[in-house]
Amino acid sequence: MNRDEAKTILLLYRPGTADANDPQIAGALGLAKQDPDLTRWLVEHCARQEALRTGFRQITAPAGLKEQIISEQAAKKITSLSFRRRRAVLAAMAVVAALVVLTPLWFQHRGSGDTYAILRNRMASVALRGYGMDLTTNNPASVRAYLAQNHAPADYVLPAPLEKTAVAGCAIEDWQGTKVSMICFRTGRPLPPGEQSDLWLFVIDRSRVKDAPPVGSRQFVQVGRLRMVTWTEGDKLYVLGMEGDEQALRQYLQG
Amino acid sequence: MAEGLDFERLVACYYEPLYQFAFSLARDESDACDLTQQTFCIWAAKGHQLRDASKVKTWLFTTLHREFLGTRRRQTRFPHIELEFAAAELPVVSPPTINRLDAGQALAALARLDEIYQAPVALFYLQDCSYNEIAEILDVPLGTVKSRLTRGLGRLHQLLTGTTTQPQPPNL
């Protein structure tokens, strides 16, 4: 093995790992001990390796990701159980009575992950990741009719500027077994290729979300590329998001 | 049997390294979150089929990588540019700076590698996976992994320092 071959082999060497047990690497390390030039190269190489490892490991998961994964899985389990119960109801009418009793309990025993922060992150993910509109229309009345027909929140109250903003369509999202109305708007700015809207309003029954902000307060937050604002009005929780700054978002709130 | 593993504990153990791997591949927070979440969804549905609990880590990383490739296939917004054509435009990090790389710089350098080298190099640095584990995760032979790593790392170091450690992979 010559010096260049040793360098090639040592490219794969990570100090402090089991790599040194690899026979080829062990051989190259042995050569480095006898060759001052190679030793110098190896010291620099190890420093680079460590810097790169440190760099990669500085990537941190966003806050709430773990809780979101766990809570969504818990919700799926509950949905699955409910489905089984429904089949049992078909088999024996007596279970209907049990379901009537169990349903309120089910609502009370939802997991601790159903907070509005997790809802907000999830909806941001829907908007950013790409979504398909269930209904494409510029008619706000059609949007409400579609949502109502599909038992999603349809009696929402829009701030005056949002009432005047062009509608592009709507979709119905599922969050922990609850329907969320997603109303898509067009602000008039140039849309990225393939996009049909650039402002999204999510509406959900407030009682289904823990820690919803109190009536009268608006909470602004940055989630990924989206600036989002959340508020409560009546029995609904509203989450509005767009790419842009807070000032741009406020345009759609002030009457 | 792997089905005895507690889901919450599993998430607590692996969501961070999976996210790091996902982010190093997708380089987008939302996509990385989705990939991580989807991986655990698949685990919840199919994890019980894994017989050897010691393979959970490999299983999760393999699943995430497959999901990433699947997503990638559906997208056309990532043009493939050979490194050779772009090399002249790449900035070189000075030797003192390379020892203080942050995540952004490391990922920017990774992004400049040919796609085929990115996943093995990310696994190499992120998780200290053994070469065998990397081969298993990427579903390629061990020799191929070593060859890709040698080339990928050689390029990476070349990009960062402007110097060449000419890879000579044949006998690995």
**One domain, residues A91 and A142:** no
**One domain, residues A144 and A232:** yes
Question: Are the Cβ atoms of A69 and B40 closer than 8 angstroms?
Answer: yes
**One domain, residues A121 and A232:** yes
Report residue A71: phi and psi, to 5°: -70, -35
Q: Are strands A236-243 and A218-223 parallel, antiparallel or unpaired?
A: unpaired
Q: What average pLDDT does range A202-221 have in this prediction? A: 86
**One domain, residues A53 and A179:** no
Distance to chain B for A127, nearest Cα, Å = 10
A183-196 pLDDT, tens digit each: 999 998 888 777 78
Residue A93 confidence (pLDDT):
62
Domain residue spans of chain B: 1-78, 81-167
**One domain, residues A121 and A224:** yes
Contacts of A128 by beta carbon, 8 Å cutoff, 6+ apart: A224, A225, A226, B30
Q: Contacts by B86-90 with C-beta closer than 8 Å and gap 24+?
A: B86/B112, B90/B159
**One domain, residues A136 and A176:** yes
Whether the predicted pLDDT of B77 surpasses 60: no
Q: Which residue of B lies nearest to A25 if distances are taken between CA atoms?
A: B172
B95-116 pLDDT, tens digit each: 444 455 677 788 888 888 888 8
**Domain for residue A84, yes or no?**
yes
Closest of A55, A57, A33 to residue A43, by C-alpha? A33
A177 Ramachandran zone, left/alpha/beta (phi>0; psi -120 to 50): left
Question: Are the Cβ atoms of A59 and B11 closer than 8 angstroms?
Answer: no
**One domain, residues A80 and A198:** no
Distance to chain A for B101, nearest Cα, Å = 5
CA A106 and chain centroid, separation: 25
Chain B residues 1-20 with CB within 8 Å of chain A: 7-8, 11-12, 15-16, 19-20
**Domain for residue A243, yes or no?**
yes
Domain count along chain A? 3
For residues A110 and A217, the model is more confident at: A217
Question: Are the Cβ atoms of B23 and A59 closer than 8 angstroms?
Answer: yes
B97 touches chain A (CB under 8 A): no
% residues pLDDT > 70 (chain A): 84
**One domain, residues A227 and A142:** yes
Whether the predicted pLDDT of A85 surpasses 70: no
Chain B residues 55-94 with CB within 8 Å of chain A: none
A70 contacts in chain B (CB < 8 Å): 7-8, 11
**One domain, residues A131 and A241:** yes
Which of B5, B28, B148, B153 is the best mutation test for A, with the most CBs of A within 10 A?
Answer: B153
% residues pLDDT > 90 (chain B): 22
Residue B171 confidence (pLDDT):
44
**Domain end marker among A12, A27, A57:** A57
A61 touches chain B (CB under 8 A): yes
Helix pair angle (B142-161, B115-126), 10° resolution: 90
First to last CA, chain B: 35
Q: What is the largest CA-CA distance in chain A?
A: 85
- Give CATH for domain B1-78: 1.10.1740
Question: Are the Cβ atoms of A65 and B146 closer than 8 angstroms?
Answer: no
Q: Which residue of A lies nearest to B36 if distances are taken between CA atoms?
A: A69
**One domain, residues A180 and A197:** yes
Q: What single letter denotes the amino acid at residue B159?
A: L
**Domain for residue A93, yes or no?**
yes
A68 contacts in chain B (CB < 8 Å): 33, 37
Question: Are the Cβ atoms of B157 and A72 closer than 8 angstroms?
Answer: no
**Domain for residue A69, yes or no?**
yes
Contacts of B32 by beta carbon, 8 Å cutoff, 6+ apart: B19, B22, B23, B25, B26
Cα distances (Å, whole numbers) of residue A47 to B14, B128, B148: 27, 16, 22
Question: Are the Cβ atoms of B19 and A56 closer than 8 angstroms?
Answer: no
**Domain for residue A255, yes or no?**
no
**Domain for residue A89, yes or no?**
yes
For residues A164 and A77, the model is more confident at: A164
Whether the predicted pLDDT of B146 surpasses 70: yes
Q: Dihedral sign, CA of A90, A94, A96, A102?
A: negative
Range of the domain at A83: 62-111
Q: What average pLDDT does range B144-158 have in this prediction? A: 88
Q: What average pLDDT does range B120-135 have in this prediction? A: 87
If you count them, how many residues does chain A have?
A: 255
pTM for the predicted model, two decimal places: 0.54
Contact between B110 and B121 (Cβ < 8 Å): yes
Q: Which fold has domain B81-167?
A: Arc Repressor Mutant, subunit A (1.10.10)
**One domain, residues A30 and A119:** no
A224 contacts in chain B (CB < 8 Å): 29-30
Whether the predicted pLDDT of A1 surpasses 80: no
Contact between B151 and B117 (Cβ < 8 Å): yes
> How far is the C-alpha of B7 from the C-alpha of A70, rounded, in Å?
8
- In the block, residue with structure tokens 């440190």: A54
For the ranges A67-81, A142-156, A182-196, A206-220, the maximum mean pLDDT occurs at A142-156
